[in-house]
Amino acid sequence: MNPGPPGRSSGEAAAESNGAVLRLEDVHRSFGGVRAVAGATFAVAAGEVHGLIGPNGAGKTTLLNLVSGFLAPGAGRILLGARDAGGLPPHEVAALGVSRTFQNIRLFPDLSARDNVVVGQHLRRRASFAARLLFLPGARNEERAAQEEAERLLARVGLEDRARAHARHLSYGEQRRVEIARALASAPRLLLLDEPTAGMNPVEVEAVARLIRQVAAAGTSVLLVEHNVRLVMEVCDRLTVLHFGKVIADGAPAAVARDPAVIAAYLGDAA
C-alpha cells in the first residue's frame, strides 16, 4: 500500500471528471469536547455507490447528519454540486436533491406504506391548493400519478401487496424497505442510506444490495453507511474509512480492506 490515504488523488480526479455530486472539504464538527468529525475530506461521484465505514463512534452518522442538514459544520465546506450546502436546513438540502434514510427507522407510522411514499414526492409536485380545492383535473391527475408512482416504488422494493398497510403494522425489514422507497420518491441525485440492512435476514440483504446497484445504475449516487462488511465489499465502488472523525483510508474496496491503517482501526494496533 502507498503511504498516506490510498488512492485519494485518483479518487479526486475521478470525482472531478464526473462532476462530484457531493464533496466534503475539511469538515469539522464537535460536541462539547468531543470531535465527532475532525477534518473529513472526500467526494462522491455521480452514479457511484460510496461506502462510509468505520468502527462504532467513528462519526459516520454525524457525517450523514451534516450532509443532510440536521447539523451545521463547525468548519469546512459541504458542496452539493457547486453549491455550499453546509448549514442549510434539511428541507432546503432536500430541495438540492439529497434524500436519506435513518439508522433508527423514521416512517410516518399512522400513514399507509403508500402514503409514506407519496409524502416522499412532496418536492416533485406542482399543482396548487386552489386547483385541489376546486376539483380541477390537474390536481386530481397529479394525485393519481403520485399514488401510482408510490405503488411502482413499493413494487421495486418488493412490497406491492403491502401498500395499504399502516407503516406501524409492517415488519422491521419491510419498514426499512418502505423507508428506502420513500427516499427514492423524491428522485434524488444523492441517496444517503444509514445502515439500511440492520436487522434484515440474508435474503432481504441480498435484495437491498441489488436495489442499491440498480439505483446507482440509474444515475443516483449512494452514500452508504453499513456494518455488513460483505454487503459493503459487494456493492460499493469506493470506500471511505472514518476513525475518530478522520478519514484514514479512501479508495477501491479491495485496496481499503488490505490497508494496514484500516486493519489497525478495526482490530486494534498489534504493535
Between CA 253 and CA 69, with CA 61 as vertex, the angle to 5 degrees is 115
> How many CA atoms lie within 13 Å of 241's alpha carbon, on the beta-carbon side?
27
Q: Indicate the residue among 16 and 92 with the shorter CB distance to another protein.
A: 92
Residues that contact another protein, how many (by CB under 8 A): 35
Only one of the segments 12-20, 36-44, 108-116, 193-201 lies at the binding site for another protein (rule: CB under 8 A); that segment is 108-116
If the CB atoms of residues 140 and 258 are measured against another protein, the closer one turns out to be 140
Strand order in the sheet with 22-31: 34-44, 22-31, 75-80, 83-84
* Binding status of residue 215 toward another protein by CB under 8 A: no
Backbone angles phi, psi at 200, to 5 degrees: -95, 155
Q: Where do the H-state alpha helices sit in the chain? A: 8-18, 60-67, 90-95, 113-120, 129-133, 137-156, 172-184, 202-217, 229-235, 253-258, 260-267
CB 145, min distance to another protein, A: 12
Q: Which is nearer to another protein, 89 or 202 (CB)?
A: 89
Give 91 or 210: the residue with its C-beta nearer to another protein. Answer: 91
Question: Minimum distance between the CB of residue 234 and another protein, rounded to whole angstroms?
Answer: 27
One of 106, 144, 152, 210 touching another protein (CB under 8 A): 106
123 binds another protein (CB under 8 A): yes
Please select the residue that binds another protein; options are 3, 32, 82, 129, rule is CB under 8 A. 129
Instruction: Choose, by CB under 8 A, the member of 60, 177, 182, 243 that binds another protein.
Output: 182
Q: Which residues contact 172 (CB under 8 A, 6 or more apart)?
A: 105, 199, 200
Residue 135, burial from CB neighbour count under 10 angstroms (0-12, 13-18, 19+) = exposed
CB of 217 to another protein, least distance (A): 24
Q: How far is the CB of 179 from another protein (least distance, A)?
A: 9
Question: Contact between 83 and another protein (CB under 8 A)?
Answer: no
Residue selected from 28, 77, 132, 227 as contacting another protein according to rule CB under 8 A: 132
Binding flag, residue 125, another protein (CB under 8 A): yes
Q: Which stretch binds another protein (CB under 8 A): 112-120, 212-220, 248-256, 261-269?
A: 112-120
Instruction: Look up residue 206 and give its three cell numbers.
Output: 441480498
Residue 39 and residue 244 in contact, taking contact as beta carbons nearer than 8 Å: no
Please give the Cα distance from 22 to 52 (Å, whole number): 13
* Contacting residue, 24, 37, 107, 178, with another protein by CB under 8 A: 107
Q: Locate 6 and state its grid cell.
A: 490510498
Angle among Cα 63, 81, 253 to the nearest 5 degrees reads 55
Q: Is 70 in the site for another protein (CB under 8 A)?
A: yes
Q: Closest by alpha carbon to 191, among 214, 160, 159, 172?
A: 214
Q: Which residues bind another protein (CB under 8 A)?
A: 68-70, 89-91, 94-95, 99-100, 102, 106-111, 115, 118-120, 122-123, 125, 127, 129, 132-133, 139, 143, 146, 164, 182-183, 186
